[in-house]
Amino acid sequence: MSDKTKVNDIDRSLYDQKNEDKYRFKSHKGLTPSVIKEISKEKNEPAWMTEFRLKSLKIYQEKSVPDWGADISDLDMDNIITYVRPDADLQNDWNQVPEDIKNTFDALGIPEAEKESLAGVGAQYDSEVVYHNLKQELVEQGVIYMDMENAVKEHEDIVKEHFMKLITPNDHKFSALHGAVWSGGSFVYVPAGIDVDIPLQSYFRQNAPGSGQFEHTLIILEDGAKAHFIEGCSAPKYSVNNLHAGAVELFINKGAQLRYSTIENWSRNMYNLNTKRALVAEDGVIEWVSGSFGSKVSMLYPMSILKGTRARAEFTGITFAAEGQYLDTGAQVIHAAPDTTSTVNSRSISKDGGYAYYRGLLKATKEAHGAKASVSCESLMLDNQSKSDTLPIMKLETDDIDIGHEAKVGRISEEAIFYLMSRGISEEEAKAMIVRGFVEPIASELPLEYAVELNNLINLELEGTIG
C-alpha cells in the first residue's frame, strides 16, 4: 500500500487509562440462578424484577448463539463477570465522587460538557451509576432523569409498564442475557408538551477487566414532548475479553420528537452486542445519530417501529473499522402505518484489514400505504487489506410505497492525494481532507460541542498512533 494513502489510527491513549480495579461487590463468574439472585439482592429490587431476571436466564440458557454476522465464538460467558459494584455511592455533587473515578470522567470532558451545554448528566462506572444530576427548572416541569435502579423503586408503575416490552428476552440470546443481568442505565420521562431544549447525556465507562456492562436505558416522551439524549461509551484495553450487551427502549408518543446520539468507543477487546429500539406514535419523530469506533466486534442495528400515521425515522451513522475489528452495524425500520417516512444514511471506513459490514432491514407492512423510505450506504476502504460489504434487506407487503436505495464502495485515491499535494497541501492534510469530506455529512449531525471525546473521534485525528 502506498504511503500516500495510509491513514493511521486515532489516538486512543486518553481512553486506555486504567484505574485500579476497586469494588465493593463483584459477582462470581458465569451465569446461574444463584448469581442472578445475588445481583438482585445486592440491588434490593422488588420481587417482580427478581422473577423477571430468573425467567430471562432460563430463556438465555435455551437460546443458541446467532450463527450469522460476526464470529463471537471466542466470547466465553463462563468467564465474564456480569456485575461489578464500584467503590462509590450515587452522588448529585460531582465533588463527592471518588477521586480516581472523577479524574477518569474529567479527562473525558464530561463534567465540563455538563457545565457548558447539558441539561442533565449521568455517569456510570462499571455496573452502577456514580453520578446523576438534572437542572432544577426541568425538575419543576416534571421531567424525570435518574438512574434505572432508583427508577425501578421510585417510579415502579411506569417502569413495569414499559421495561423490556420493546426488547424482550425472547428476541435473541443477548437480549435474554440482558434481562437476566442488566444493571445501571438511565430513566428519562418527559411530560406532555415539555421541550427539553438542552441535551441530556449519560456516559458509560467500563473499567474492570473480564467484565460485562449491561446498562438499560428507558426513555418515554409523552404527547408533544421534545428531547435530545446523548450516550457516550468507552473502556480501556485489556488482554481479556469484555462484553457490552446493553438495551435502549424509546417510547415516542403522539407528536413527540427525540434525537438519540451515540458515540461508542469501546476498546479492542470488547464484544459490543447492544440492542436499541424505538416505538413511534402518530406524528412522532425519532432521529438516531450513531458513531461506532471501538470494539473488537460490534453487532448493532437500531430499530425504529413506525406504528402511527405520519411517524418519521431518521438514522445517520458512521463506522470506522481498523485492524482486528469486525463492525457489523446498520439500521432497521418497520413501516407499520400510513404515510410514514424514513431516511437511513450510513457511511463506513475500513483500514488495515478492518471489516465494516452494513446490515439493514426495511419492512413495510400491509398498513403502510403512502410510506416513503430512502436508504443510502457508502463505504470507503483505505487499503487493499480492508473489507466492506452491504446487505440491505427489504420486505415489502404493499406496493403503495416509495422506496429508494443506493450503495457505494470505493477506495481513497492516489490521484486525489497527488492533485491536492500539487496545490500546495501536505500529504497528511490531503488524506485528512478526503476522509473528513467523506464523513462530513454524518459528522455535521453529531453533537461535537458537548464533549472532548466526540471531537477527538469524529474529527478522526489521522496522525494518531495505535492505542
The amino acid occupying position 172 is H
pLDDT value, residue 102: 57
Q: How confident is the model at residue 167 (pLDDT cuts 50, 70, 90)?
A: very high
Alpha-carbon distance of 447 to 146, in angstroms, equals 22
Which residue spans within 87-163 are E strands per DSSP?
Answer: 120-125, 128-134, 144-147
Residues contacting residue 25 through CB under 8 Å, at least 6 positions apart: 42, 83, 84, 85
Q: What percentage of the chain has pLDDT greater than the value 90?
A: 39
Tell whether the torsion through CA atoms of 161, 164, 167 and 172 is positive or negative.
negative
Residues contacting residue 334 through CB under 8 Å, at least 6 positions apart: 303, 304, 305, 306, 363, 365
Contact status, residue 163 vs residue 218, Cβ threshold 8 Å:
yes
- Number of helical (H) and strand (E) elements in the chain, helices listed first: 11, 26
pLDDT (tens digit per residue) in 35-59: 899 889 988 999 999 999 999 999 9
What is the radius of gyration, based on Cα positions, of the chain?
22
Q: How many residues does the chain have?
A: 467
User: Given the C-alpha cell 471525546, which residue does it identify?
Assistant: 453
CB burial of 119-157 (b: ≥16 within 10 Å; e: otherwise) equals bbbbbbbbbbbbbbbbbeebeeeebbbbbbbebbeebee
Alpha-carbon distance of 458 to 443, in angstroms, equals 6
Alpha-carbon distance of 467 to 320, in angstroms, equals 14
56 CB neighbour count, 10 Å cutoff: 23
**How open is the CA angle 120-194-260, to the nearest 5 degrees?**
55
Contact status, residue 286 vs residue 260, Cβ threshold 8 Å:
yes
DSSP code for 143: -
pLDDT (tens digit per residue) in 67-112: 888 888 888 877 777 666 655 555 566 566 656 555 655 655 555 5
Closest CA to 382 of 351, 426, 348: 351
The whole-model pTM stands at: 0.84
The amino acid occupying position 43 is K
pLDDT (tens digit per residue) in 235-283: 555 445 778 889 999 999 999 999 998 877 767 778 889 999 999 999 9
Biggest alpha carbon distance in the chain? Answer: 70
pLDDT value, residue 18: 45
Q: What is the secondary structure of 164-223 as a DSSP string?
A: TTSS-TTS-HHHHHHHHH----EEEEE-TT-B--S-EEEEEE--STTBEE--EEEEEE-T
To the nearest whole number, what is the mean pLDDT of the chain? Answer: 80
- The mean per-residue pLDDT over the stretch 3-12 comes to 47
Closest CA to 6 of 321, 295, 355, 381: 381
